[in-house]
Amino acid sequence: MLMADLLNIEDLHLEFHTYDGVAKVLAGVDLRMQRGDVLGLVGETGCGKSMTALSVPRLIPMPPGKITQGRVTFAGEDILSKSESEMETFRASHLGMIFQDPVTNLNPLFTIREQLVDSVLYQQARGQKVPGRWKGFMPSVRQLRAEAHERAVELMRLTGIPDGDKRIFEYPHQFSGGMRQRVLIAMALAGDPDLLIADEPTTALDVTIQAQILRLIRSLVKQLGLTVLLITHNLGVVARSCERVAVMYSGRVVEESPVRELFKNPKHPYTRGLINAVPQKDVSRGGLIGIPGMIPNLIDPPAGCRFHPRCEQVMDVCRRQVPGATPVGAEHKASCFLYPEDA
């Protein structure tokens, strides 16, 4: 391979120990990202897309969570074997994260300035990205904060918040939903991350604001050369903003492909079902096809392929064995027995 993977998740198994039993949340997730990739991770509620993403910064509480198998490497470094303090440095210097709900992720008692400056200072201190001229002697707190303030205003300008130098003194409640999400993006960018993990960044927003935020993310990818892992349940969002897509179902990636290929030529029955379930332009009344049944119970998942109870093309082998990822086209992989490995 020419380029080394920035992120490589291999055969990741994650379990949660609950009173009802052991929930097998992830059952062998494989995911690779290269620098500059914009990868969409799609799936329904409970398919493990957020858990996959959270296992990169290791933000899953353990216990009750437990990684039983698999490896996560970031630029060649093994993440799962790092100590907690190494993790803090790693998160500050390499990762940025934005979440679904911009309301709960900002503290209502502090101004935007306090929160943004704090994250800039933290990421600098932890990520040891203190500007060169400060090396060798301790700068005064006042100087550091003044510099961090400059940086914070700069970040607000970068994320498209008008009048950043004035609005930085305001409180979160004075910002609208879209503006708050921009503040969170600014925070995530404070440490110059290599990878931005965006977990349903536009789900709580109106469509017009969603379009603004997606455009912002696209322009940041161009400007800063970010690598983005975009988690969403909305196929339309993926079609608009990603280059590659991985579709997850019940703890596994079932199909992975470039965006255009996935929508033009979906291979896995689940992916097809998902695309058909979206009300599109030329679907007339009664023409919408849902996927029958419900997502499986994770404590007692179906044997073999976890999609088989809902699948229309189910075969005998599906009930017994778990399909592996097979290439079905250029850079296109699907985990389904419909596509035998030797074909």
Partner 1 sequence: MSRLLEINHLKKYFPIRGGLLNRKVTDFRAVDDVSFTLQEGKTLGLVGESGSGKTTVGKCILRLLEPTSGQILYDGQDITHIKAHELRRLRGEIQMIYQAPAASLNGRMTVGQIIGEPLWIHEKLRGDAARDRVLELMTVVGLKEEHYYRYPHEFSGGQQQRIGIARALAVQPRLIVLDEPTSALDVSVQAQILNLLQDLQDQFDLTYLFISHDLGVVRYMCDEVALLYLGKIVEVAKTEVIFEEPKHPYTQALISAIPEPDPDLQREEIIIRGDLSHAFPQGGCPFAPRCHAEKLASCDSVLPPLLEAEQQHLVACHLHPPLSASSASEPA
Between 75 and 275, CB nearer to partner 1: 275
Between 56 and 259, CB nearer to partner 1: 259
With binding defined as CB under 8 A, does residue 45 bind partner 1? Answer: yes
Strands of the sheet with 95-98, listed across from one edge: 95-98, 195-199, 227-232, 38-42, 244-249, 252-258, 332-334, 326-329
**Measured from the CB of residue 315, what is the shortest distance to partner 1 in angstroms?**
21
SS3 state at 230: strand
**Measured from the CB of residue 73, what is the shortest distance to partner 1 in angstroms?**
30
Structural element, H or E, at residue 38: strand 38-42
129, 260, 319, 320: residue in contact with partner 1 (rule CB under 8 A): 260
Residue 268 near residue 325, CB atoms below 8 Å: no
With binding defined as CB under 8 A, does residue 140 bind partner 1? Answer: no
**Measured from the CB of residue 64, what is the shortest distance to partner 1 in angstroms?**
20
With binding defined as CB under 8 A, does residue 184 bind partner 1? Answer: no
**Measured from the CB of residue 221, what is the shortest distance to partner 1 in angstroms?**
16
Between 70 and 309, CB nearer to partner 1: 309
179, 226, 246, 325: residue in contact with partner 1 (rule CB under 8 A): 179
Interacting positions 225-244 with partner 1 (CB under 8 A): 233-240
> Strand 227-232 and strand 38-42: pairing?
parallel
With binding defined as CB under 8 A, does residue 215 bind partner 1? Answer: yes
Binding characters for partner 1, 107-126, by CB under 8 A (x = yes): --------------------
Interacting positions 268-297 with partner 1 (CB under 8 A): 273-281, 283, 285-286, 288-292, 294-295
Query: In DSSP terms, which residues pair with 14 in a beta bridge?
Result: 26, 67
**Total residues in contact with partner 1, by rule CB under 8 A:** 46
With binding defined as CB under 8 A, does residue 208 bind partner 1? Answer: yes
**Measured from the CB of residue 187, what is the shortest distance to partner 1 in angstroms?**
20
With binding defined as CB under 8 A, does residue 209 bind partner 1? Answer: yes
Dihedral-angle region of residue 200 (phi above 0 means left; psi in -120 to 50 means alpha; beta otherwise)? left
Residue among 342, 317, 318 nearest 249 (CA): 318
With binding defined as CB under 8 A, does residue 222 bind partner 1? Answer: no
**Measured from the CB of residue 178, what is the shortest distance to partner 1 in angstroms?**
5
For residue 193, what are the CA distances in angstroms to 148, 228, 279?
A: 16, 10, 36
Residue among 238, 287, 282 nearest 260 (CA): 238
Interacting positions 75-104 with partner 1 (CB under 8 A): none
Between 239 and 322, CB nearer to partner 1: 239
Report the alpha-carbon distance of residue 248 to residue 47 in Å, rounded. Answer: 6
Residue 5 near residue 72, CB atoms below 8 Å: no
- State the CB neighbour count (10 A cutoff) for residue 155: 23
Residue 296, C-beta contacts closer than 8 angstroms, at least 6 positions apart: 250, 302, 306, 309
**Measured from the CB of residue 126, what is the shortest distance to partner 1 in angstroms?**
34
Between 133 and 264, CB nearer to partner 1: 264
**Sign of CA pseudo-dihedral 180, 186, 187, 193:** positive
Stretch that binds partner 1, among 96-104, 182-190, 193-201, 208-216 (CB under 8 A): 208-216
Q: Say if residue 109 is exposed, middle or buried (CB neighbours under 10 Å; 0-12, 13-18, 19+).
A: exposed
Report the alpha-carbon distance of residue 176 to residue 182 in Å, rounded. Answer: 10
Between 125 and 289, CB nearer to partner 1: 289
Query: Which residues of the chain form contacts with partner 1 (CB under 8 A)?
Result: 44-45, 176-179, 206-212, 214-215, 233-240, 259-260, 263-264, 273-281, 283, 285-286, 288-292, 294-295
